[in-house]
Amino acid sequence: MIKKLNQNKSTYFDFKKSTSLDPFNLSMYAGWNSLIVIKLNLDKDQDLTSDFIKIKLSEIYNKEKILVVVKGILKISIKKKHFFLKEFDALNFFSNEYKIKCKENTIAYLVSAVDSSIYKNDSVFFNFKNDIEPKDLWGGQCISRIYVGESLNLVMFDLKPGFKFKDRGHSNEQITWVIEGEMDFYANKIEKKLNQFNGVDIGENDEHGGISNGAIGFDAFYPKREEKKYN
């Protein structure tokens, strides 16, 4: 059972193994507005099926999901289609019947939203670096690659060392995490260093920002951003 936060204020969290998701090395964070981020640390030849998701995470079983691999190789089988995901490959999928097989030791992230609608779309396979046009959202020291799903945005960012950023806030829930490097971050005047072991769930209209020490990571938004620059 997924338990959402009861508040809409900014919250920092750690990626720690969840005993409720045994026997897999998975860690999950559930945000204040239904965003879910699951970090998968899978060993070679491990299988993760939709039956496991249905039992353990029933609220996102038939919802839109975006899976992105940052290390290793995964094979995802959906009906008669097979997708092989390597570094920075991603799959936006909607099926409630699938099987994930780990071909190498792999780190990946699964993003969904409990309150999103149910779609019957075909799966969309892409690579963040090869298929998503880089955008200069915050100045030349920040390169963003924006994927627009049906209800979700997933943005990969690459921040150069010394880059300072500031956002006055927005109504969309935003979960941010780093996969390489680190940055000094603040949200609602609470400061913390972000690295590959933690993340931040930004509260409704909370001002946030910081300074990068050189960082690559992701921003997930729900509902998706409607501003032109995010499309």
71 or 6, which is more confident: 71
Q: Tell me the mean pLDDT in the region 137-149.
A: 87
Average pLDDT of the residues in 212-217: 97
**138 within 8 A of 166, measured Cβ to Cβ:** no
Count Cβ atoms below 10 Å from residue 3 Cβ, excluding itself: 6
The residue-averaged pLDDT of 197-226 equals: 96
As a whole number, the mean pLDDT across the chain is 94
- Give the mean pLDDT of 10-27: 91
Predicted pLDDT of residue 230: 84
Average the pLDDT over 107-124 and give the result.
96
Amino acid identity at 48: L
Non-local CB neighbours of 99 within 8 Å, separated by 6+ positions: 47, 48, 49, 50, 76, 77
Instruction: pLDDT band for 3, please (50, 70, 90 cuts).
Output: low
CATH number of this structure's domain 130-230: 2.60.120.10
Q: Is 69 left (phi over 0), alpha (psi -120 to 50) or beta?
A: beta
- All CATH 2.60.120.10 domain ranges of the chain, comma separated, are 17-127, 130-230
Supply the pLDDT for residue 21. Answer: 86
**Token pair for residue 155?**
């943005």
pLDDT band at residue 23 using 50, 70 and 90 as cut-offs: confident
| Cβ density class 93-116: b for 16+ within 10 Å, e for less | bbbeebebbbeeebbbbbbbbbeb
Q: Which fold has domain 17-127?
A: Jelly Rolls (2.60.120)
